[in-house]
Structure 1
Amino acid sequence: MTSRNQKPKIWLCCIWQCRSGLSSDVIVAFVVHRRLVPAFSIRIGFISLVVGISWLYFSIKKRKLIKVREKFFQQNGGLLLKQRISTKEGGVEATRIFTAEELKKATNNYANDRILGRGGNGIVYRGVLRDTRIVAIKKSRIVDESQIEQFINEVVILTQINHRNVIRLFGCCLEDEVPSLVYEYVSEGNLYKHIHNQRGAGWLTWQNRFRIAAEVATTLAYLHSFASMPIIHRDVKSANILLDNAYTAKVADFGASKLIPLDQTHVATLVLGTSGYLDPEYFQTSQLTEKSDVYSFGVVLAELLTGLKPIIRDRNDEQKNLADYFVSSVNNNHLFQILDHHVLQEGNLEQLQKTAELVNNCLKLHREDRPTMKEVAIKLEDLRKLTGISSSNQNGQGDNDHDEFSDFYTVPVDSYENTANSDSSCILHPTYSPS
């Protein structure tokens, strides 16, 4: 007899007769508590509900993330950029558009210990791609319409350049709020730091200074004369000349550059450049020509000769600008008083004098009086022969410290000031495709 408080049980028996010739039947008995079935169903239902809600949450979150990234892609000029780099005929290696996740993984989620340099325009991180390539990833700080224009401009221009002395662009990322550029990793920072921060004191001999000048001159001549469409760099300065582990020069920062149609010698544009390097005639007339790069290169060559900054703040007005100070010193026969002591000790006097004359010619106030970059490159090659300086690397062993790697676009703010004017007209022709 069953007690009132005793809960009844259900006995379920399933009997199968063995049809395989075995000697006995197999009897399987299942004993199930009466309340086990609804409890089990509730648990299964609850788990299914949680899984369903979680799936729905993450699906909605993923769709929102995709929409946000699509918005940033369009906001950062992605459609225009794709159109411009996809219509280029031929070229160098294809420019990749990286995903935001790829760059996060490459930089360990933009960890502080991956920072190579900081500047007014952004932060440069050291990254490692999935194929183990080490790259420099420049993540912009603030983006407005003019900066987007410069960003697209730089990508488009770099996709059509194939030169060993031009910084190589692997690709870009447009899926974040601010765009990023992915460059080859150039380990020894920029020339400005080596000249002015004593970083290059050990290896920056006159021979190496001269070699770097010749490499940059040849590169600018290539951009002006031999590229498929002439390119005016428009911001030539020592901070935009990077050095790899062999101390080979790499011209960088093409955000301000201009493509010049073959049937034109100049373009009218708002002034953009860097104080101390800026062509005075371009500043006054807004007429940009290849001779503007020649002037800026003259300032860089003066830096290499003297070790002085382009803007010398602790001097009077007449001597504050290196270009004016250099020209005045040469014209007054004071050249050897302003040369860097390393240069003076190591250089051939005739070579130094003729190099100074070349600087003077580059710094002429009127562009018609300046040589072309091709003429400058040829002149430097002729001067090299005076002492047999090889055009190939003759590098000293410099400091290998990579912690001072600079932002491609900046150097300490007390060195010089950037011209604040932005360029509203970008002359770009959709005739290029991935390089």
Structure 2
Amino acid sequence: MTNLLHIYLLIIFISLTMVATALVPSYVKPGCTEMCGNVRIPYPFGIGPNCFLNKWYAVDCNSSTPYLSALKNLPLLVVDLDNQTVLVNVTMTSGCQNPVSNSSQLLNIDLGDTPFLFSKSHNKFIVEGCGAAVILSNGNALTGCTPTCFQKPVSYRRRDCFGINCCQTNVPFYMKTFAVNITTSSRQMTGYKSRSCVSAFFEAADSYVRQFFPGQSGVGSNSLVPLVLRWTLTENDISQRSCGVIKTHKLETSNDTLVSTLTCSCQSEIEEGNPYLGCQVTEECTKCMDTWGYCRYNESNDGVRNFYCDHRFHNGGNNSSSSRAIFLGVGISIGVLILTITSIATYKIIRRTKDKRRRKRFFERNGGLLLKQQEAGKEGLANKTNLFTSYELEKATDHFNENRILGRGGQGTVYKGMLTDGRLVAVKKSKAVDESQLEQFINEVVILSQVNHRNVVKLLGCCLETEVPLLVSEFVPNGTLYKHIHDETGEVFVPLNMRLRIATEVAGALSYLHSATSIPIYHRDIKSTNILLDEKYRAKISDFGTSRFISISRTHLTTLVQGTIGYLDPEYFQSSQFTEKSDVYSFGVVLVELLTGEKPISLTRFGETRSLVTHFMMAFEEDRVMSILDAKIVREDVMDELMEVINLAFRCLNLYGKNRPTMKEVASVLEAIRTSSMSSMVLPDFGKVKCNDGEEEFLILSYRESTSTSFM
């Protein structure tokens, strides 16, 4: 509730800020610079990318001086939105440097392709000196004047010259370009040094310049004069949404044609700002309305419009100003709050609906309907497979937090999780879905859900409503057999009787999968990293990601070769035919690992002996097999038992599957060896950790806690 109140107050503050901000008229697009030096650059002109209408209205601001980059970098003095004009500085057209006679000079500005015209309403044509000048268009004279030459210098202001040594005339048309014909006088001037030259140029009318530069006679220099250009717009240039009133104007040009232009203005006299971006009510009128008044304007005899606030229809006077502002702000904030709550509620409903549809789509794609059919079609299997929701598993794994990762493998990533009932689980997130293998995947889930063996990791269920299937199994805390027998720190030692017990448990589990289940299951990836140790260091087979169940009528399964190098049955590798004897071969490699403490593939050995199997087989055939065993487990009182295990491993690694024993036979032999050795084995005192395993006890060195990194 407190958080909601804070949000509500924040919305009120933002709303009032928006109201205050809205009172300030905007002349430029959001994020654009409004001023360059002392010159305001309103839209459609602009400084910087995306701030102007098109390239003709782009303005460069250099050293606080604006320039029209598309018009040969003419200095920009004023942008007049009301008259749709710009005031620029241009160079005078003059013949004073080289006296000329009957010469024709072109103005150095050509507006042919631009949206600009020389304004006839705001410019004058001025001639200075002894001579005459005429404006030409298409060879025809439009207008001109001839000043009276006077023998003595006459002081005058250029914009109000009265005919002596200077004359001026109106511009008759809007023009894109023109020519000026200048003729010097042949009369000899006496009394002062003659200026046998004539200057003719356009210049902004003095009244127009004074509108923006009061008290100044001009803004030009001896070589520059102010000139007014009219800019034009088309329907494509004006946005009806922001423009209040659009008007069309026809501008008469010198070639007897009319140029159309559109202008945009605010809707009423109480608005101000840039009409091309949207107008706002004037500040004085806003204050008037805040006091429940009406904005009025009257015009005096001299044409000046005066504003006044009319309160004739209000009895509250100015005391209501703050109340109106508060009422307006609270009203806006309540509206925004209702809109926000409605939007959030609508968003949540839409998101839930989409999530529900997405989960249903994933459930069907991942074989959920097939799972239901499998369970319905088999007696006693109904609802035996526990289906977890994506929400349950996200909560259990803290949204699959990186810190919860137990391990990564070729089939996917395994996360540690805790269910709501407190059970620790391992959640495997597959890397991808092979839709062609969905039926096989669902069959595996159904079958493995029924497997209940103390040395097989229990599959607790799955989740099919996510993008990739999630499998949930029991959590096995003491890590993999691989980490224990290949520990490089030297802190872990696994005694012989523990190694025999682990081998016996693994063999018993594989025998159960091959022959005791309703349908034989081949693991297909037996290795020491897929054998986990629980809290009592009992072995548990895990990671059935590549396992397959085989119908009684089929003796083998032909698929792509899958498995791990070093453990892979060479007969399966050649024929792609996986049988129960392939699991026997892989188990034989694990058995040799337990005996030697060596890795299946070692870079410390050379040539063929890099393979542990080849290394073992060569040593066996050369009667030096005892030399490659782990020295820590070789003792005189267990030599007979070791030889029996070595012979069993040799049989398991036979190149021909038919000559290998079954897992049932392997389990029986190991159980017999272990039973016979129990009385003869004398355990060394390793003296740090004592573990009780039913009828027997064994000692191992203590080591840091490890976790399961693999699972079904």
Residue in 2 that maps onto 1:106:
396
| TM-fit CA distance, 1:44 | 6.8
Is 1:190 aligned to residue 495 of structure 2?
Answer: no
CA distance in 1: counterparts of 2:382 and 2:594, whole angstroms: 32
Residue in 2 that maps onto 1:372:
662
CA distance in 2: counterparts of 1:345 and 1:109, whole angstroms: 51
CA spacing shift, 1:346–1:73, aligned 2, 3 Å: farther
SS at match of 2:634: helix
Which amino acid is 1:6 matched to?
A: N
The residue correspondences of 1:135-284 to structure 2 (distance < 5 A) are 135-145=425-435, 151-152=441-442, 154-198=444-488, 202-284=492-574
CA distance in 2: counterparts of 1:92 and 1:199, whole angstroms: 49
Contact between 1:153 and 1:255, CA under 8 Å: does it hold in 2? no
CA distance in 1: counterparts of 2:529 and 2:460, whole angstroms: 21
Which amino acid is 1:267 matched to?
A: L
| Residue deviations 1:335-357 (CA, integer Å, cap 9, x gap) | 11100112214870000011100
Residue in 2 that maps onto 1:89:
379
Bigger shift: residues 212-221 or 224-233:
224-233
Aligned with 2:709 (options 406, 410, 415)? 406
CA spacing shift, 1:58–1:91, aligned 2, 3 Å: closer
CA distance in 2: counterparts of 1:179 and 1:398, whole angstroms: 39
CA radius of gyration, larger in:
2
Residue in 2 that maps onto 1:28:
none
| TM-fit CA distance, 1:85 | 4.3
| Residue deviations 1:148-207 (CA, integer Å, cap 9, x gap) | 677545423311211111001111122222222111010011111111124785451100
CA distance in 1: counterparts of 2:428 and 2:646, whole angstroms: 36
Residue in 2 that maps onto 1:18:
none
CA spacing shift, 1:268–1:384, aligned 2, 3 Å: same
CA distance in 2: counterparts of 1:214 and 1:391, whole angstroms: 15
Overall identity of the aligned pairs, in %: 49
Is 1:386 aligned to residue 676 of structure 2?
Answer: yes
SS at match of 1:333: coil
Residue in 2 that maps onto 1:362:
652
CA spacing shift, 1:403–1:386, aligned 2, 3 Å: closer
CA distance in 2: counterparts of 1:140 and 1:154, whole angstroms: 15
| TM-fit CA distance, 1:131 | 0.7
Bigger shift: residues 35-44 or 347-356:
35-44
| TM-fit CA distance, 1:228 | 0.8
Bigger shift: residues 290-299 or 177-186:
177-186
| Residue deviations 1:67-115 (CA, integer Å, cap 9, x gap) | 2222222333333333334544336993221111111111122223322
Contact between 2:502 and 2:538, CA under 8 Å: does it hold in 1? yes
Bigger shift: residues 136-145 or 278-287:
136-145
Bigger shift: residues 307-316 or 399-408:
399-408
Which amino acid is 2:515 matched to?
A: S
Aligned with 1:6 (options 315, 332, 344)? 315
| TM-fit CA distance, 1:229 | 1.0
Residue in 1 that maps onto 2:408:
118
- Name whichever structure is richer in strand by fraction: 2
| TM-fit CA distance, 1:257 | 1.5
| TM-fit CA distance, 1:41 | 8.7
CA spacing shift, 1:399–1:83, aligned 2, 3 Å: farther
Is 1:54 aligned to residue 357 of structure 2?
Answer: no
Aligned with 2:596 (options 306, 313, 332)? 306
- Name whichever structure is richer in helix by fraction: 1
CA distance in 2: counterparts of 1:380 and 1:91, whole angstroms: 34
Is 1:77 aligned to residue 367 of structure 2?
Answer: yes
| TM-fit CA distance, 1:252 | 0.8
Contact between 1:153 and 1:257, CA under 8 Å: does it hold in 2? no
Contact between 1:157 and 1:254, CA under 8 Å: does it hold in 2? no
Which amino acid is 2:463 matched to?
A: C
Residue in 2 that maps onto 1:396:
699
RMSD, aligned α-carbons:
3.1
Aligned with 1:342 (options 617, 622, 632)? 632
| TM-fit CA distance, 1:367 | 1.1
Contact between 1:246 and 1:393, CA under 8 Å: does it hold in 2? no
Contact between 2:376 and 2:382, CA under 8 Å: does it hold in 1? no
Which amino acid is 2:649 matched to?
A: V
CA distance in 2: counterparts of 1:333 and 1:373, whole angstroms: 26
Bigger shift: residues 121-130 or 292-301:
121-130
Which amino acid is 1:165 matched to?
A: N
CA distance in 1: counterparts of 2:474 and 2:701, whole angstroms: 20
Gaps of 5+ in 1: 9-32, 410-435
CA distance in 2: counterparts of 1:393 and 1:284, whole angstroms: 43
CA distance in 2: counterparts of 1:266 and 1:35, whole angstroms: 85
| TM-fit CA distance, 1:265 | 2.7
Contact between 1:246 and 1:395, CA under 8 Å: does it hold in 2? no
| Residue deviations 1:345-376 (CA, integer Å, cap 9, x gap) | 48700000111000011111111111111111
Residue in 2 that maps onto 1:328:
618
Which amino acid is 1:396 matched to?
A: L
Q: Comparing both chains, which one has the higher relative contact order based on Cα–Cα distances under 8 Å and sequence gaps of 6 or more?
A: 1
| Residue deviations 1:118-140 (CA, integer Å, cap 9, x gap) | 33433222111011111111222
CA distance in 2: counterparts of 1:136 and 1:56, whole angstroms: 37
CA spacing shift, 1:315–1:43, aligned 2, 3 Å: closer
| TM-fit CA distance, 1:145 | 3.9
CA distance in 2: counterparts of 1:92 and 1:232, whole angstroms: 24
CA distance in 2: counterparts of 1:95 and 1:203, whole angstroms: 39
Bigger shift: residues 283-292 or 92-101:
92-101
Contact between 1:123 and 1:140, CA under 8 Å: does it hold in 2? yes
CA distance in 2: counterparts of 1:407 and 1:243, whole angstroms: 11
Residue in 2 that maps onto 1:317:
607
Residue in 1 that maps onto 2:97:
none
Residue in 2 that maps onto 1:63:
353
